[in-house]
Amino acid sequence: MSGVLGMYASMRPITTLARPFVAAPYIITGLETLRDPTPRAEQVAPTLKPIVDRLDWLPTKDPETLVRIEGALSLGTGALLMAGKFRRLTTLLLAAQLVPALATEHRYWTEDDPERRNSERSHLLKNAGLFGALLMVATEPRHVSRRAPRAADLRRQTREVRIRAGAETKALRRETAAEIRNARREAARQVRDVRREGSRRAALGTAKASKGAAKVSMGAAKAGQSAGKGAAKAGKGATKAARAVRTSKAGKAARSSFGR
């Protein structure tokens, strides 16, 4: 790339110097045609008229008007080429303007004078060479500036940064989603464990309460049995006491009867 840049940098003064030489004939020819189009119109009229008659879309078929239009176009494109503006477009237009000249001018084979024939052939070959040079300039690769590699590198780096940032963002989103899912699963598991522990404790409390109630009922039954036994013992004691009282009374009665 540095070799290509160096080549273009070294050729830039040459192309800048060559542009006026290529544009000067078109500018001069355009000015002369605009000032006096009659000689050129008379020269190209025999060849131009049959072609113009077949083209219905042309705004006019007057040879002088068409020659003036061609002169204005030649002057404008020559000035643009000299200024270095729209180089590819101007060279294509200049090459297109040479096509009618190659077809209608310098018809050396119609000349009988050898010197004039050689002169016309020389002019035709010069126009053909200029036509080929313009085509070469119009189709050559675009100028590679020194900023182009830097701009390309910046675009590439920007694209890589965007791709890397997008990949990191996607990975972060996936990790966040996985962490959220794991947290939800852990919370659900803890809730289930808490519920199971609560159910187990409630069952244990219920069992303990049942055992306590059973113990209370058993205590009450034992107390009832003890009370029943005490009552029975008290009843027996009372019976014994009543018997003793009756026995004592009977003894007293007997002793009193014996004493009389």
pLDDT the model gives residue 128 = 84
User: Given pLDDT bands bounded at 50, 70 and 90, which one contains residue 241?
Assistant: low
Could you tell me which residues come within 8 angstroms of residue 1 by beta carbon, excluding any fewer than 6 positions away?
149
Note the pLDDT of residue 180. 92
The pLDDT of residue 5: 42
Asked whether 99 and 130 are in contact (CB, 8 A), the reply is: no
Q: Which of 41-45, 90-94, 153-157, 194-198 has the lowest mean pLDDT?
A: 41-45
Residue 2 pLDDT > 60 = no
Residues 118, 120, 121, CA angle at the centre, nearest 5°? 65
What's the DSSP call for residue 145? -
Tens digits of per-residue pLDDT, 108-136? 777 778 888 888 888 888 888 888 878 87
Report DSSP state, residue 146: T
Q: Determine the pLDDT at residue 237.
A: 67
The residue among 65, 71, 91, 64 whose CA lies nearest residue 31 is 71
Q: Per-residue pLDDT tens for 17-48?
A: 777 888 888 888 888 888 888 887 787 777 77
Residues 85-102: tens digit of each pLDDT? 887 888 888 888 888 777
What percentage of the chain has pLDDT greater than the value 70? 74
CA within 13 Å, CB half, 246 = 5
Q: Which two tokens stand for residue 13?
A: 């003064």
Tell me, what's the pLDDT at 245? 60
pTM, two decimals, is: 0.44
> What's the rounded mean pLDDT across residues 149-174?
84
Count the neighbouring beta carbons within 10 Å of the beta carbon of residue 40: 21
